Amino acid sequence: DSGVTQTPKHLITATGQRVTLRCSPRSGDLSVYWYQQSLDQGLQFLIQYYNGEERAKGNILERFSAQQFPDLHSELNLSSLELGDSALYFCASLAGADYGELFFGEGSRLTVL
């Protein structure tokens, strides 16, 4: 158990819909990262938050947005869903200081039909 909690574990929805994925980082970790893992691709970094503020942005589509709340949990919002958005979405939190490792949640598997 990494200490990072993600919900829901599985989600099936239709094209054009909107979903929200939720993540709670490890106790004490201030940073939250979101990654997308498609079937034929590696990990694609989406976005990072640190203590409520956006810190870094990767290959995140304009249809996607995220935020981190005062209690440090984070939500990733995916809207106007397309078939190609079907993927595993991982949340991770960073241990400690700059050279630390990421602890990953078990992921949310999104299927868009």
Q: Pick from 27, 39, 42, 62: which binds other proteins (CB under 8 A)?
A: 42
Instruction: Name residues whose C-beta falls within 8 Å of residue 111's C-beta, 6 or more positions apart in sequence.
Output: 10, 11, 12, 13, 86
Applying CB under 8 A, the span of 12-20, 21-29, 65-73, 94-102 interacting with other proteins comes to 94-102
CB half-sphere exposure, 97, CA atoms < 13 A: 0
Q: Verify binding: residue 103, other proteins, rule CB under 8 A.
A: yes
| Residue number, 61 or 102, with CB nearest to other proteins | 102
- Tokens in use for 14? 């239709």
Neighbours of 34 (CB within 10 A): 23
- In the complex, the residues that contact other proteins under the rule CB under 8 A are 2, 31, 33, 42-43, 45, 48, 50, 55-56, 90, 92, 94, 98-107
